[in-house]
Chains A and B, each alone.
Chain A
């Protein structure tokens, strides 16, 4: 009898869930591991902000698409002057912000001037440093003059940090963002979820969803339970890759594996006493077995890298061979550097599993060549304070998820403290280069310089591992920028 009751209740349950799925075809609940600290993408660096607002609430002049290409957004079209210095953008007309005010050239000028101002708190100010002036020609035309030609300018404008905001509403954007996007902000239950709803007055292509909820679940076990129970329809940045085979085997779910811009590196403090010697850094690089880290920490998801560059980028150079796994070479280098007795380094790890698990694997690999590590597990706030700002570390593991961020190596103040005049010159040249061939050459030379200097241990490109209800269509597979773009998402029957 008991068996029968169980069976019928299971049947009733499956009927109920399929009914609720049918009724929920215009709303979606997305899981996210981290909650954004606020919702103003123009004043903070947290990736979680853009993962809620990018393309959904806020739009820029241009935007990223799922495949990483840049397409027009609020700008209908643009013309570039022959000297490459003046960009004239024609804006879409009839665009309004969610509060009803119109979006015109004045707002573009306000947004860009605000982002590049002296006292700007924009997290990516470098995107705007090349702008000399922003001029309003007429309400639908704006002209931007650069101080030097910059081949990457259109891409810069597609960043979540370069979205167009209104002077009327920006001060309150941290808690009540007002943009031009197809969704408008509706509610934020702190510590739990953010709800957004369809913007009926959207200027562009209408969207399929009426409502979307971002639910914040930091614990991987809870995330697993929530997805299994159907409380969450999709978890694009699913935190526990070990569970993906189970989802794959379940017809209710589809597993989405794509690429991200996350170069996962064993960062080395180049100013730390023992690591100033390039031979020690080279020894560490040779002591690392990348495939073992990808298999052990990421359960096989990830692509080995040999420099700080995304493998799916056309200008990528595969330099993994230069720092191939070679414990004998590592030992010889250490001996040469005067550490035949071995040495001890600190290894400070932030919370993500790629760091915690990868750290244990790397510690074991380094021990093989005679390097002892003192592992210290840190929370993000501690990591930012001690490692990122305090530079009080020898080794750390972190994934750098911004797109095309090789430029961070040109900043000697950056936390791994790499100071190379040759590299800085390469990046300076790159900023001025507009010719595609020349840019490729410079980007590849930049990749080589940091690989030759063994600045960091280059581990793997973080894979984007997500899980979603198999009826959902249109989620991004890759992650060319930090975003959960819901504009193309719909439910199939």
Chain B
């Protein structure tokens, strides 16, 4: 930490000063979160009612982002699509945290035991399959739906969180205050929950934002190949897939969902960067 000179303070990998990247990332992300929340109450047009007569209109005052090949308002679809993307990502990350973190804590508390090996090697097994492949496998067996996409992405998240948890918990287990707690007779479970977890929480939060952005990308990818949310539920990935043959004469069909995906993922990554710098206890101490 002493290596950090003043000018290097709080700089994230992206080169933004941490508050800057946090703000930009937070702003970008919250645009879509707000859009998703508002879409529950109001969208400019219904995304389920088709209006073939108004199809493929360019962006204008009436339709801010134009209309698609069924005459649906793309702005409204992006809003509802945000809901789908965010919901899928939240639940998928939730599954990863709820299952992965306890597994990681367990493995760390029984380091090098049979349980540790069992947990971590099973994680390696799941990790060995590319996430999209697992998702295709699950949807092939259980059918295509948003729910199965969520499960698929969630399963992929489990080993990520288990590894990060175990990896960051291990060095803490070697610290003196843990030794003190053990001497005081606290059980492994209590130590994990009362001492380890609070100390690795920041790492988990950062990992969570990164996994969140990956979740949104995975949902878009699955929908693109037709394995995500089924019509008529709008989804950014499927909007891209539908636009493919029309890009040459109606580019707005691809641009807006594309920009939405990029902006959300960028926003979450910037926010992750910013959060990491903000929450990193080592940096904080210097500051």
Check B232–A360 contact: CB distance below 8 A: yes
Check B70–A296 contact: CB distance below 8 A: yes
Query: With A359-B231, A360-B70, A377-B230 known to touch, is A243 a contact of B245 (CB < 8 Å)?
Result: yes
**What 11 new A-B contacts, CB under 8 Å, besides A357-B70, A376-B144?**
A242-B246, A243-B248, A243-B249, A246-B249, A296-B50, A296-B55, A360-B231, A360-B232, A363-B232, A364-B232, A365-B50
Q: In the complex, how many angstroms separate the beta carbon of B196 from the nearest chain A beta carbon? A: 46
Q: In A376-390, which residues have CB < 8 Å from any B CB?
A: 376-377
Query: With A296-B69, A377-B226 known to touch, is A364 a contact of B48 (CB < 8 Å)?
Result: yes
B42-75 vs A, Cβ < 8 Å mask (1 yes, 0 no): 0000001110110100000000000001110000
A197-232 vs B, Cβ < 8 Å mask (1 yes, 0 no): 000000000000000000000001100100000000
Query: With A and B bound together, what is the CA distance between A376 and B232 in angstroms?
Result: 11
Task: Tell me, yes or no, whether A79 is within 8 Å of chain B by CB.
Answer: no
Task: Tell me, yes or no, whether B143 is within 8 Å of chain A by CB.
Answer: yes
Query: With A292-B52, A367-B48 known to touch, is A224 a contact of B230 (CB < 8 Å)?
Result: no
Q: In the complex, how many angstroms separate the beta carbon of A302 from the nearest chain B beta carbon? A: 13
Q: Number of A interface residues at 8 Å Cβ cutoff, please give it.
A: 23
Q: In the complex, how many angstroms separate the beta carbon of B149 from the nearest chain A beta carbon? A: 14
- A377 to chain B: which residues have CB within 8 Å? 144, 226, 230-231
Query: With A359-B231, A363-B231, A376-B143 known to touch, is A242 a contact of B52 (CB < 8 Å)?
Result: no
Footprint of A on B, CB under 8 Å? 48-50, 52-53, 55, 69-71, 143-144, 226, 230-232, 244-249
Query: With A and B bound together, what is the CA distance between A363 and B232 in angstroms?
Result: 8
Q: In A329-381, which residues have CB < 8 Å from any B CB?
A: 357, 359-361, 363-365, 367, 374-377
Main secondary structure of the interface of B (DSSP, over half): loop
Task: Tell me, yes or no, whether A395 is within 8 Å of chain B by CB.
Answer: no
Task: Tell me, yes or no, whether A240 is within 8 Å of chain B by CB.
Answer: yes
Task: Tell me, yes or no, whether A295 is within 8 Å of chain B by CB.
Answer: yes
Check A361–B249 contact: CB distance below 8 A: no
Check B245–A242 contact: CB distance below 8 A: yes
Instruction: Point out the residue from B55, B71, B244 that lies within 8 Å of A221, measured CB to CB.
Output: B244
* 7 A-B pairs closest in CB distance: A240-B245, A296-B52, A292-B52, A220-B245, A364-B50, A221-B244, A295-B52
- B230 to chain A: which residues have CB within 8 Å? 374-377
Q: In the complex, how many angstroms separate the beta carbon of B77 from the nearest chain A beta carbon? A: 12
- A245 to chain B: which residues have CB within 8 Å? 249
Most chain A CB inside 10 Å of its own CB: which residue of B49, B71, B230, B232: B232
Check A221–B245 contact: CB distance below 8 A: yes
A431-456 vs B, Cβ < 8 Å mask (1 yes, 0 no): 00000000000000000000000000
Q: In the complex, how many angstroms separate the beta carbon of B245 from the nearest chain A beta carbon? A: 4
Q: In the complex, how many angstroms separate the beta carbon of B233 from the nearest chain A beta carbon? A: 10
- A376 to chain B: which residues have CB within 8 Å? 143-144, 230
- A224 to chain B: which residues have CB within 8 Å? 245, 248
CB closest chain-A residue, reference B55: A296
